[in-house]
Chains A and B, each alone.
Chain A
């Protein structure tokens, strides 16, 4: 019992000596799992599909684009999850935002840019409605946004059919050409670089001599930009600290003056706006809106966020992790076509990955909180 005679200071020093190992610091980072997972996935496909063209410029752009689309909503979902809530209406919001862009532009003769702004203002409204309902009623966001999932999807279908008589709204492509803001969501970046690489023979060309991969899609830039922005928000701003606090302990945070309600409402607006960015990218890329767009995307976003290290209980997670979660998702979903594996197995992989991630996260949380 000599421990008892030691001074407090000595004791706490002893306690801390165990905690300084760098490996342990790394192990406690939320994005570790997703980073490691990404490396494993690339090693796997490097071996299995290394010579199939998956990692050519064209193949890379392909799987990056799928990852980016999911990443855009996964990052917003991760922020909301760190703030302690879910948004199951993201997928429906994608469909709803899609027709909010297409119907005014095609049937009412609005300029495309104004219908895009209209979709974003609807997103703010939907997000605000979700947020205020959750904050005011104190009901679980799971239930509130599940209701919104059905309401939005139903309204999308009913309104589209009422106005257009069908469930798809094509014909947007001609409007993109001269629009002042559509390029933000649809243009390819670094076209010159790709043409140059093509002329050097470094990347594959089409029959007419233009490169197969024409540039970096706007969605990839959105994905990267949003990851950087969200990480900056979380780590470097007051608002970021409030997100962690709101999700970690709502009452405690409120007691020390964090405006928990406002933080949560703004995060709900964030997921709805992210869904609308996703919708813009998709609708402008395809040139048409479809009432079923975004179906089940809310669950994929949650998978990416969880694989990225977000705890379902809130208060812990990272935007970088969610971005890598989306990368794993996109890489596997495209990569599986380059292998001999039947693509039907993709969802099995998805489920298994999520399960492993949750078990791993649980283990991490115990490390972080119960270091006794």
Chain B
């Protein structure tokens, strides 16, 4: 038996005649950050949705903790500890930090019909959790809309961890962020992995993926181009594979051509 938290074996997904994914295999261990890289249209979104239970794979198997499973809904995946943080983060900007943190899973107090939302407990947990990441929420009743993009990302990740995620799927967590904010988020992701979570980090930014990732899976036109350990892969090689090295080479040749004709 392997010590993989989750295995996705030979996953394929078809939409009518379109092959969105073909034979994609990924294994995630405890403490591992697996970066999923690919250009636009490579099938990253379809893969995430399949991993998180939104789509059912047409072929292949999903193995969680050594047991083969079928996700009928995102809820099923969540119940097995596979939490996905989408790009929209599932945060409501008009609602407070606390209310967002516990959205859908509010702590309760009291009995029977008089059960109420335990606001004080929720507030203290939310500010404690945010404090652990270095975001000092002095007033947890402030609206999420007042937070920066990086803080929101951290809030969404921290929420997923608090509610028992074992495997975190992060969809482009740094794409909309500046350099400083992105580094805050990446640091937090590394910390989360160090505490024993498995992380699947989806991105098209090699400069964000390379420093934090342990292994890299590259998607191209719905197919996996393989999974590589960090030691077997240089940044340049990764960059070349991801963007489709040939295409960049071709582009370079074409640019030179344009340059030459301009000079003449």
B91 touches A249 (CB 8 A): yes
Chain A: minimal CB distance from B154 (Å): 10
* A111 on interface, CB distance cutoff 8 Å: no
Interface SS, A side: helix
* B45 on interface, CB distance cutoff 8 Å: no
| B interface bracket (residues with beta carbon within 8 Å of A) | 35 or more
B88 touches A257 (CB 8 A): no
Chain A: CB-nearest residue to B102:
A241
Given the interface pairs A19-B142, A236-B117, A369-B93, the reply to whether A12 lies near B88 with Cβ below 8 Å is no
- What residues of chain A lie closer than 8 Å to B145, measured between beta carbons? 368-371
Which of A16, A237, A245, A369 interacts with B103 by CB under 8 Å? A245
Can you name 8 extra interface pairs (CB under 8 A) apart from A235-B117, A241-B102?
Answer: A20-B139, A240-B117, A244-B92, A245-B99, A249-B88, A253-B90, A368-B143, A369-B143
A252 touches B89 (CB 8 A): yes
- What residues of chain A lie closer than 8 Å to B121, measured between beta carbons? none
* B180 on interface, CB distance cutoff 8 Å: yes
Chain A: minimal CB distance from B242 (Å): 28
Give the complex CA separation of A241 and B116 in angstroms: 11
* A191 on interface, CB distance cutoff 8 Å: no
Chain B: minimal CB distance from A368 (Å): 5
The 10 closest A-B pairs by CB, nearest first: A369-B145, A248-B92, A252-B90, A371-B146, A257-B104, A256-B104, A238-B106, A255-B90, A258-B104, A249-B92
Chain A: CB-nearest residue to B93:
A369
* A316 on interface, CB distance cutoff 8 Å: yes
* A315 on interface, CB distance cutoff 8 Å: yes
Given the interface pairs A238-B106, A368-B143, the reply to whether A252 lies near B116 with Cβ below 8 Å is no
Chain B: CB-nearest residue to A17:
B138
Give the complex CA separation of A372 and B178 in angstroms: 15
Give the complex CA separation of A236 and B106 in angstroms: 10
Q: List 12 A-B contacts (CB under 8 A).
A: A12-B136, A15-B148, A16-B138, A19-B142, A20-B139, A237-B115, A237-B117, A245-B95, A249-B93, A251-B90, A255-B74, A257-B105
* B86 on interface, CB distance cutoff 8 Å: yes
Chain B: minimal CB distance from A312 (Å): 13
B90 touches A237 (CB 8 A): no
Chain A: CB-nearest residue to B96:
A244
In the complex, which residues 304-360 of chain A have their Cβ closer than 8 Å to any Cβ of chain B? 311, 315-316
A315 touches B104 (CB 8 A): no
A256 touches B142 (CB 8 A): no
- What residues of chain A lie closer than 8 Å to B95, measured between beta carbons? 241, 244-245, 248, 315
* A13 on interface, CB distance cutoff 8 Å: yes
B93 touches A236 (CB 8 A): no
Which of B75, B86, B104 interacts with A245 by CB under 8 Å? B104
Give the complex CA separation of A251 and B91 in angstroms: 10
- What residues of chain B lie closer than 8 Å to A237, measured between beta carbons? 115-117
Give the complex CA separation of A91 and B3 in angstroms: 63
* B255 on interface, CB distance cutoff 8 Å: no
Chain A: CB-nearest residue to B138:
A16
* B128 on interface, CB distance cutoff 8 Å: no
